[in-house]
Structure 1
Amino acid sequence: MNKAEVKDLIASLTEELNHHNYLYYQKSKPVISDYEFDTKLKELEQLEQQYPDLKLPYSPTSRVGGDITKEFETVPHKYPMLSLGNTYSKEELMDFDGRVRKGLGTDDYEYICELKFDGVAISLKYENGYLDRAITRGDGTKGDDITTNVKTIRSIPLKVQGNDYPPSFEVRGEVFMPKEFFKELNDGVLKENKQRESEGKTPLTLYANARNTTSGTLKMQDSKIVADRKLDCYLYSYLDDSDTYNTHEKSIQFLERAGFNVSQTYRKCQTIDEVLEYINHWDQERHKLAVETDGVVIKVNSLAQQSELGFTAKNPRWAISYKFKSESAVTILKDITYQVGRTGAITPVAELEPVLLAGTTVKRASLHNANEIERLDVRIGDSVNVEKGGEIIPKITGVNLESRPSNAQKVSYLTECPECNTTLVRKEGEASHYCPNKDTCPPQVQGRIEHFISRNAMNIESLGPRTIAGFLRRGLIKNLSDLYTLTFEDINNLQFEETDEATGEVSKRSIKEKSAQNIIESIEKSKSIPFERVLFGLGIRYVGKTVAEKLAQHFVTIDRLMKASFEEIVSVHEIGERIAESVSAFFADEDNRQMIEALKEAGLSLETEKKEGAADTFKGLTFVVSGVFETFGRDELKNLIKQHGGKVASGISSKTNYLIAGANMGPAKKEKADSLGITILDESSFRELLQND
């Protein structure tokens, strides 16, 4: 054969084998034998080895694996991978439905329900119909590129079917290990352990659960091993820049046409009652599925309505996750220990006789606070029921009183901090006890600094908990402002000891020259972080990311906020008394004021920067933004309002000055605005208002 004939044959075999893969893995309707498939695949492999330049990017030989990846590149997500709010009760689902109805101002909406599979979230980027990149969730804004390993998953198309797709789009889904193969994997371990036992060797540990095994598999360096693990993937979300589809259902139907593996368990529901019927059905039937599932995701179907509902600081308002009742187990409470958080809050922890629960071995569970211990009347030596809240965090849900030891004593909650021996305090109306020694209690100091350097605050990436702990032990820092006094000479080749909590073994660690340089550069870079994130990073109790933004926008500078009275703080839109009390108390503390002065001297941004040309055009005005817009994004509109001194509210009230109305806005909002005499602006009117400054 000449090269042109080889090229045609490679293309023909590639298309044929990909089609058979699709029939086998997604339709469960093979039309040729395994022997015939393997023979054709081997022929294609040999041709590609002879003519590597003719291998196509979507060749099925990529499924076999064999490439070695020493490091996984971290790359940003074009569209953030958001987490969902969780609920465990059907009453809370009804409340969610009420919020949707109120937010849209209409009963005209529908839901899509999908099972929540217990796997690893993945984002797949396609360019011109070919799989270009596969990225893990990571922290939601960036993840690891694991494309080589994902190509071994045979149900993920390397090339999409049909031609009705945009040049660039992304697909989200869940990679999982089928129950059957997970059992095979552990059966193999048990078999090998019998051999090791006969040879006097230490037995291998069984794989804990399918999800953790999937996660570990996806980060293996050898893609050949990944290919042998028989991972699968269900896709459930489509994203592009053009809003090609106006409902979630239509985008899912596209994925089905394009050859993606979509679980046929999804359903469109017209009412919340139909949603509850779906949940009740799958609460029983889910155990028959080939993959573990722990809940249901409920999404508003219309993308325009999703846009109108928008987001909270953490989650979309148009979706929620309902978790099925957790598995439970019975074990013995051996002891109660106490942990100290960065705010000084004390959390009692139940030390348990190890027990297998939902695929993992549980040794500890949270007891939350003194009230919970009192409510459960839990005692050392008790036989206790343990569940996983959301199948993640273990908790004690009950005590078997019949098996209680005769000498079991009622728990006396500790009175002194387990770390620094300071007498604990408990504020009126609060459930938790606190250690007031914020300045020298080690876990509090460490926790505040870790919060300060976190991604949503100062984003000092080169620092981590172990390094911070080393700096504290060596006395290089005492509080977060001391980070800005560190020099390269201070930390280059710095050595400190670390103790392994599990084994108690002590090891030595040192900071090499390159790491030291990275740390100093990251700290210097953080000086350009905007004021609202610095404020969030200070770790003031009850001041989360959204509250910090509101305070920074209102007071503009740290000095004005420090001087503000309780009444001035509580007058800020959506700032309550508890937050105002906490902020006032924080800035009344002389040590905190000195720390702020140190941060000023270090050159941190402690005032809100106005965009060039922005004025206080909207000072004292409150806006509500609703609907879908042609020339503005909803977030862009809100940012413009804030940059020009205005406030953005989520709902219409007598305090609202303007309603900016886009397409598909709920009629109830317009009616309410009209009844209150509120001015309604379209995009053009808003632009004119903006230009009047």
Structure 2
Amino acid sequence: MTADIAVEKLSEAEAERELARLAEVLLRANTAYHGEDAPDISDADYDALKRRNTEIEARFPHLKRADSPSDVVGAPVAEKFDKVRHAVRMLSLANAFDDDDISEFDDRVRKFLNVTAETSLSYTAEPKIDGLSLSLRYEGGKLVQAATRGDGEVGENVTGNARTIDDIPETLTSAPDVLEVRGEVYMSHADFEALNERQAQAGEKTFANPRNAAAGSLRQLDSAITKSRPLRFFAYAWGEVSEPLSTTQMGAIERLGKFGFSINPETKLCTDVEGMIAQYRVIEQKRATLGYDIDGVVYKVNDLTLQGRLGFRSTTPRWAIAHKFPAELAWTRLEAVDIQVGRTGALSPVARLAPVTVGGVVVSNATLHNEDYIAGRDSKGAEIRGGKDIRVGDWVQVYRAGDVIPKIADVDLSKRLDDAVAYEFPTICPECGSDAIREEGDAVRRCTGGIICPAQAVEKLKHFVSRGAFDIEGLGAKQVEQFYADKWIAEPADIFRLKECYGSGMQQLKNREGWGEKSATNLFEAIDEKREIDLHRVIFSLGIRHVGESASKLLATSYGSWAALEEALTQATVGEGDAWDHLLSIDGIGAVMAASLVTTFQQEAERASIDRLIAELSVKDAISTAPTDSPVAGMTVVFTGTLEKMTRAEAKARAESLGAKVSGSVSGKTDLLVAGPGAGSKAKKAADLGVKTIDEDGWLSLIEGA
């Protein structure tokens, strides 16, 4: 079972499967937390899961997926709010979990900047507030817009609601003409308890925790409701500014305080790693008495010039990191084991538990991964949990730091029932009766029924209408199950033929329980609205194994149109040929994902289903958002040899920020090779292909002023 194998013991094949699993479960977690304000896991759970993904990517960098959770920020914007495109992206933070991680962070910063351990380097340390990120835009000193983080690039316009928060000034004096102030909306413990008491007395829904209450209150369509909620705001960062706030992080924060914003009094300046860790211990000890929820400490390089040089990865700044607090454990009884069948046919065992609170969240389910995990061994036969198997009736330890739903970390054999029997994993699909086989090298047993398996069919349809795919208003998981059971839909194309295929479809639907003429009309209108749709959503909606939202966007950007993508995948042969090579040349597309794409488009039944869907749609071409006004915009650039004036990482980051694509290999599609001393085979290949080659000085001259 890959989820239980230590990262350093994973084989390459196991690592690839584990990255695919992590991509899927983290996508669900992001949607629940950022998009629905209804997280079903704690931050510690999410952090541990994301950390495992990062560790595997660090060990197997060539296996990093295009839909890697490392490259995802937040979740798509809800349709009920107007969209706001951030002038400067709102990114998340990389995480640290122990003191060694902080030392490594400092080492990475120094290596990137090419400075020694003796060089003075200071950091700010501040509590990480557990709330909802908000960006406030002021023009001429007046608040003109407030937006949530959304997916980092596009957020929700909540200006009216933000104006009701006392901590947010309507006007600023002596501020830059354009100033985006960023911070966290939160609710204090005392205010949260008082709100829940009022909600209960009024017979209304109570909230699970202060973060949910704050997020739900800010994202109300009626600002009067927001005004009635005791929301607060801490300012700690900025986006677009027409002039610098300061030369340092601490100076900029202090200036925000002078503008009238609440800034966290626990923010301190640290001159070394030891000081950072000491401040972490201070804040950790104060955690229970602060009066609001925090889940760690954030460190930032204090010098803003150095922050500018360090720049950003795809979703996180290089100059900041969050030092998170540890997770929690609990014991409870395993009451049953259920088998669920997913859209790829995977048989997933789920533990049904006597409800128990772990990390402030009530847990009643836990993943059991697969048959090896239940039996107390990993996929190579090595023991886990000391070889203890898991049986119905067992007293089990639930660890909420390893999956979207928790996992069972241990079993107390002293409390095992005398009549407990070893669990026998099914070899027949419980949904369709087809054989469930486990291929060599695969940790998962899968149903062989394919499209005849109702569970797979329904799960694929649910995926098709999910938020990142077609997201059809009024057509969710419950409706999909209903329509499938009634034989109204069997594949995605059927959704767009509902009204026409059943000449009396409208009549039948409006007479169903829970439906009326208005709701039926709204559904068919919502379906028609999605006939014209973005290319990346179509790709993601197909539910191709290993292809997530990020990969779908990458493919859409790379091919530009459905026709180009379809032609490429139809012509490609796995492992050979120009079409295959071009697919693999896309940064972030690996061999496993590429093979999955090609195989899907060349399977007769799958392809026919896709063709029937496309016939119902008008697929919009992808529009590139990369800079177009720099001298290297649109170029494919390769760096080789030794760079003497900047690190390779800094050069790559700078090139990408200017709209260039940085590749690790030279090919006929390479536009420019930047060769430093020691350049070898890449320089020779570039010469053979006629690729333009310049040295580091030439590169710096080319991008100067861009």
User: Do they superpose with TM above 0.5?
Assistant: yes
The answer as to 2:600 corresponding to 1:579 is no
Distance 1:97 1:141, change over 3 A: same
What is residue 230 of structure 1 aligned with on the other side? 230
Distance 1:536 1:687, change over 3 A: farther
Residue number among 538, 543, 546 corresponding to 1:539 in the alignment = 543
Distance 1:686 1:357, change over 3 A: closer
**Identity of paired residues, percent?**
33
Distance 1:415 1:290, change over 3 A: same
Q: How far is the alpha carbon of 1:355 from its aligned partner?
A: 2.3
For the residues of structure 2 that align with 1:149 and 1:126, how far apart are their CA atoms? 16
When structure 1 is superposed on structure 2, of 336-345 and 616-625 the one drifting more is: 616-625
Contact (CA 8 Å) 2:330, 2:356: kept in 1 or not? yes
For the residues of structure 1 that align with 2:432 and 2:335, how far apart are their CA atoms? 24
SS in structure 2 opposite 1:566?
A: coil
Give per-residue Cα distances to partners, 1:561-610, cap 9 Å, x unaligned.
23222224365355434334433432342222223433554465598899
What is residue 345 of structure 2 aligned with on the other side? 344
Matching of residues 584-623 of structure 1 within 5 Å: 584-599=598-613, 601-602=615-616, 622=638
Residue number among 692, 695, 698 corresponding to 1:679 in the alignment = 695
What is residue 63 of structure 1 aligned with on the other side? none
What is residue 7 of structure 2 aligned with on the other side? none
Contact (CA 8 Å) 1:470, 1:497: kept in 2 or not? no
For the residues of structure 2 that align with 1:606 and 1:186, how far apart are their CA atoms? 46
Give per-residue Cα distances to partners, 1:40-62, cap 9 Å, x unaligned.
xxxxxxxxxxxxxxxxxxxxxxx
Distance 1:591 1:139, change over 3 A: same
What is residue 26 of structure 2 aligned with on the other side? none
Contact (CA 8 Å) 1:328, 1:386: kept in 2 or not? yes
For the residues of structure 1 that align with 2:126 and 2:681, how far apart are their CA atoms? 39
Q: How far is the alpha carbon of 1:292 from its aligned partner?
A: 1.4
What is residue 512 of structure 1 aligned with on the other side? 520
Distance 1:596 1:153, change over 3 A: closer
Distance 1:518 1:391, change over 3 A: closer
The answer as to 2:455 corresponding to 1:434 is no
Relative to the length of structure 1, the TM-score reads 0.68
For the residues of structure 2 that align with 1:177 and 1:388, how far apart are their CA atoms? 24
Contact (CA 8 Å) 2:91, 2:152: kept in 1 or not? yes
For the residues of structure 2 that align with 1:227 and 1:139, how far apart are their CA atoms? 26
For the residues of structure 2 that align with 1:248 and 1:282, how far apart are their CA atoms? 19
What is residue 395 of structure 1 aligned with on the other side? 407
Q: How far is the alpha carbon of 1:90 from its aligned partner?
A: 5.1
Distance 1:76 1:226, change over 3 A: closer
For the residues of structure 1 that align with 2:704 and 2:482, how far apart are their CA atoms? 54
Distance 1:294 1:561, change over 3 A: same
When structure 1 is superposed on structure 2, of 216-225 and 560-569 the one drifting more is: 216-225
**Which residue identity does 1:410 align to in structure 2?**
A
Give per-residue Cα distances to partners, 1:16-38, cap 9 Å, x unaligned.
xxxxxxxxxxxxxxxxxxxxxxx
Give per-residue Cα distances to partners, 1:298-328, cap 9 Å, x unaligned.
4455666666666566555554444311233
Distance 1:351 1:92, change over 3 A: farther
SS in structure 2 opposite 1:414?
A: coil
What is residue 209 of structure 2 aligned with on the other side? 209
**Which residue identity does 1:538 align to in structure 2?**
L
For the residues of structure 2 that align with 1:253 and 1:397, how far apart are their CA atoms? 45
Q: How far is the alpha carbon of 1:217 from its aligned partner?
A: 3.5
Distance 1:548 1:671, change over 3 A: farther
Matching of residues 639-678 of structure 1 within 5 Å: 641=660, 647-649=661-663, 658=672
What is residue 637 of structure 1 aligned with on the other side? 658
Give the total of aligned pairs: 577
When structure 1 is superposed on structure 2, of 475-484 and 485-494 the one drifting more is: 485-494
Give per-residue Cα distances to partners, 1:272-312, cap 9 Å, x unaligned.
55544443443333222111112233445566666666656
Matching of residues 132-171 of structure 1 within 5 Å: 132-160=144-172, 162-163=173-174, 165-171=175-181
Distance 1:610 1:595, change over 3 A: farther
Residue number among 178, 194, 218 corresponding to 2:188 in the alignment = 178
What is residue 56 of structure 1 aligned with on the other side? none
**Which residue identity does 2:662 align to in structure 1?**
V
The answer as to 2:128 corresponding to 1:116 is yes
For the residues of structure 2 that align with 1:303 and 1:440, how far apart are their CA atoms? 59
Q: How far is the alpha carbon of 1:261 from its aligned partner?
A: 0.9
Q: How far is the alpha carbon of 1:352 from its aligned partner?
A: 1.7
TM-align CA RMSD: 4.8
Distance 1:356 1:561, change over 3 A: same
For the residues of structure 1 that align with 2:141 and 2:654, how far apart are their CA atoms? 28
Contact (CA 8 Å) 1:75, 1:144: kept in 2 or not? yes
Matching of residues 53-202 of structure 1 within 5 Å: 73-78=81-86, 79-86=88-95, 88=97, 111-160=123-172, 162-163=173-174, 165-185=175-195
Contact (CA 8 Å) 1:493, 1:513: kept in 2 or not? no
Residue number among 535, 558, 568 corresponding to 2:566 in the alignment = 558
What is residue 54 of structure 1 aligned with on the other side? none
What is residue 448 of structure 1 aligned with on the other side? 460
For the residues of structure 2 that align with 1:138 and 1:590, how far apart are their CA atoms? 39
Matching of residues 269-348 of structure 1 within 5 Å: 269=270, 274-300=275-301, 315-316=316-317, 319-348=320-349
The answer as to 2:434 corresponding to 1:422 is yes
Distance 1:602 1:229, change over 3 A: closer
Uncovered stretches (5+) of structure 2, i.e. residues with no partner: 1-78, 377-383, 641-647, 684-693
Contact (CA 8 Å) 2:134, 2:148: kept in 1 or not? yes
When structure 1 is superposed on structure 2, of 366-375 and 91-100 the one drifting more is: 91-100
For the residues of structure 2 that align with 1:675 and 1:243, how far apart are their CA atoms? 46
Q: Which has the larger radius of gyration?
A: 1
For the residues of structure 1 that align with 2:350 and 2:484, how far apart are their CA atoms? 25
Residue number among 391, 394, 408 corresponding to 1:379 in the alignment = 391
Uncovered stretches (5+) of structure 1, i.e. residues with no partner: 1-70, 194-202, 499-505, 642-646, 661-668
Q: How far is the alpha carbon of 1:365 from its aligned partner?
A: 2.5
SS in structure 1 opposite 2:437?
A: coil
Contact (CA 8 Å) 1:558, 1:606: kept in 2 or not? no
Relative to the length of structure 2, the TM-score reads 0.67
Distance 1:610 1:242, change over 3 A: closer
Contact (CA 8 Å) 1:557, 1:606: kept in 2 or not? no
Distance 1:577 1:521, change over 3 A: closer
Distance 1:339 1:672, change over 3 A: farther
Q: How far is the alpha carbon of 1:116 from its aligned partner?
A: 1.9
Q: How far is the alpha carbon of 1:460 from its aligned partner?
A: 5.6
For the residues of structure 2 that align with 1:111 and 1:544, how far apart are their CA atoms? 36
Contact (CA 8 Å) 2:131, 2:214: kept in 1 or not? yes
Contact (CA 8 Å) 1:313, 1:546: kept in 2 or not? no
Distance 1:433 1:123, change over 3 A: farther
Give per-residue Cα distances to partners, 1:524-563, cap 9 Å, x unaligned.
x21xx24x55444433222345545665677754222232
**Which residue identity does 1:212 align to in structure 2?**
N
Distance 1:428 1:276, change over 3 A: farther
Distance 1:418 1:497, change over 3 A: farther
Distance 1:277 1:441, change over 3 A: farther
Contact (CA 8 Å) 1:481, 1:598: kept in 2 or not? yes
Distance 1:289 1:590, change over 3 A: same
Give per-residue Cα distances to partners, 1:406-445, cap 9 Å, x unaligned.
2222222333334333332333333333334342434433
**Which residue identity does 1:579 align to in structure 2?**
M
Higher RCO, 1 or 2 (CA under 8 Å, sep at least 6)?
Answer: 2
Give per-residue Cα distances to partners, 1:100-124, cap 9 Å, x unaligned.
5565555577654432222233232
